Amino acid sequence: MVLKNASILVIDDDTDVLTAVRLLLKTEVTEVVIEKNPENIRSLLAKKKFDLILLDMNFNSSINTGNEGLFWLKKIKEFGSEAAVIMITAYGDIDLAVRSLKEGAADFVIKPWHNEKLIAAIREALTRRESGKNNGEYGRINQSVIGRELLGTSQAMREILYKIEKIAPTEANILILGENGTGKDLVASAIHQQSLRADKPFVKVDVGALTESLFESELFGHKKGAFTDAREDRVGLFETASGGTLFLDEIGNISLHQQAKLLSVLQNRKITRLGSNTAVPIDIRLICATNIPLVEMANEARFRKDLIYRINTVEIMIPPLRKREDDIILLARHFMEVYSKKYMKSTADFDSKALDKLKGYQFPGNVRELQYTIERAVIMAEHEILQASDLIFSPIESFKETAEEPNELKLSIIEKNTILKVIEKNNGNISKAAKELGLTRTALYRRLTKYDI
């Protein structure tokens, strides 16, 4: 739908917001209807069909759920409206806004917004709505990311999601970097699902686990009789993925001999099955991933630089969970919901001490460790509210920090002593201490855990 032809309903109890949006959109769309009271939504929708609704997340209303936006989003769907809904949220409610995408919202915008970005979000939501009417795929882009647990509201995750949105429609080869358990496979899947090859195969291969003898047979295929156990012709994974995306996981662990074979295929865009002299053209979008830092891979004795350049048109670095502290509770609640349904448990939330325990832990096993921790907790919990004692972190993980330089060690001692003094000054009040130190409560908890305070 062309933006100019759209009819838009704006629901917010802030008069200034309503006025600002109406003035911004009045020359951009056919009609802008503004409303302060969300309880009038039903009557408004009964009178007129809107193409898009801008809905605030919080109202001073009689609902008092703490997440009124989600309540009214569900009501809009119940009322049978086909309007695309964009949530309006403050920065502190981003986790609720992300949840709203799972409930069917088309997008969310954060106050205060840039006018150009708000108009762009409206135009995109209207385009997806119109496209969805034609092909039944409304919301595919949002759900492809959120639905596969690639969740996060931290600055780092917002940057990753933005990068995925930009690079997915291209044919660029992607290298995904990050520690084990950070979700590299989810990022690869999200790129494929948002690409122009989304309806074609997505083939994942753990190349680091392939032996020298299996590498060529698995990737390039073989003809019957090519070697002792080759009892029939076999199509390789490059051919299987042709037309779609090939995801080579643990690429940093393959040998120099395997690297030479892979480089030849990527340069020529052809494979030759073992036992055959016929080259077969392949059409793949390549995504690779490794937990080895790029600077280590660049060592020619370990990895060919010409292959790095070939697989690394664009790189995505996924930070460890300990550096995405804003995402920990959002992910924990997501996994709690998933496993409560799976095991038919009635767990509903975490108590404050459990939340503090999650925030204070380093998660050396990253998102994977958090997932298994919450799964165990849901299975073993005897209460609807998970408690700190329910959270048992993996004994097989151990966090190893990089050895500190002498100057860094001195700074750490100074920081620890400063924190101790400020906490003592505020009689143990963490909130006040954090404010005086210029930190968030979460960041202060991190430092308390780091220095064993």
pLDDT at 141: 33
What is the reported pLDDT for 182?
A: 93
pLDDT, residue 65, reads 54
> Looking at residue 149, what is its pLDDT?
53
Q: pLDDT digit string (tens) for 389-407?
A: 999 988 776 555 444 444 5
Burial tier of 155 (Cβ tally within 10 Å: 0-12, 13-18, 19+): exposed
pLDDT at 4 over 90: no
Average pLDDT on 125-142 reads: 54
**Average pLDDT value for residue range 140-164:** 66
Sequence-distant (≥ 6) Cβ neighbours of residue 219 within 8 angstroms: 205, 207, 210, 236, 237, 238, 262, 265, 271
pLDDT at position 114 is 80
Q: Say whether pLDDT at 101 is over 70.
A: yes
- pLDDT, residue 111, reads 78
Q: Which pLDDT score, from 0 to 100, does residue 209 have?
A: 83
The mean pLDDT of 280-287, rounded to a whole number, is 94
Please give the pLDDT value at position 134. 43
**Regarding predicted confidence, which is higher, 276 or 177?**
177
**pLDDT for residue 251:** 94
pLDDT score recorded for residue 275: 83
Residue 32 pLDDT: 94
285 sits in the region (left: phi over 0; alpha: psi -120 to 50; else beta) called beta
Give the C-alpha separation, 246 to 19, whole Å.
50
* pLDDT higher than threshold 80 for residue 310: yes
Whether 166 shows a pLDDT value over 70: the answer reads: yes
Per-residue tokens: 393: 């972190």
pLDDT value at 450 more than 80: no
Mean pLDDT of 17-35: 91
Residue 186 to residues 38, 140, 151, 204, Cα–Cα distance (Å): 37, 16, 10, 11
The mean pLDDT value for 35-56 works out to 92
Mean of pLDDT values over 11-37: 91
Q: For residues 174 and 194, what is the distance between their CA atoms, to the nearest angstrom? A: 14
Q: What is the reported pLDDT for 14?
A: 87
- What's the mean pLDDT in 250-277? 90
pLDDT tens profile 265-274: 999 999 988 8
Residue ranges of domains in the chain, CATH in brackets: 3-138 (3.40.50.2300), 156-317 (3.40.50.300), 322-390 (1.10.8.60), 406-450 (1.10.10.60)
Residue 128 in tokens: 């997806």
pTM: 0.57
Query: pLDDT at residue 440 above 50?
Result: yes
- Report pLDDT for 102: 65
pLDDT band at 452 (very low <50, low <70, confident <90, very high): low
Q: Strand runs (DSSP E) across 48-194, as ranges?
A: 52-56, 84-89, 107-110, 174-177
- pLDDT of 311: 93
Average pLDDT score, the chain: 83
| Tally of helices (H runs) and strands (E runs) in the chain | 19, 16
Rounded mean pLDDT, 312-317: 90
Higher-confidence residue of 266 and 141: namely 266
CA pair distance 268, 164, nearest whole angstrom: 27
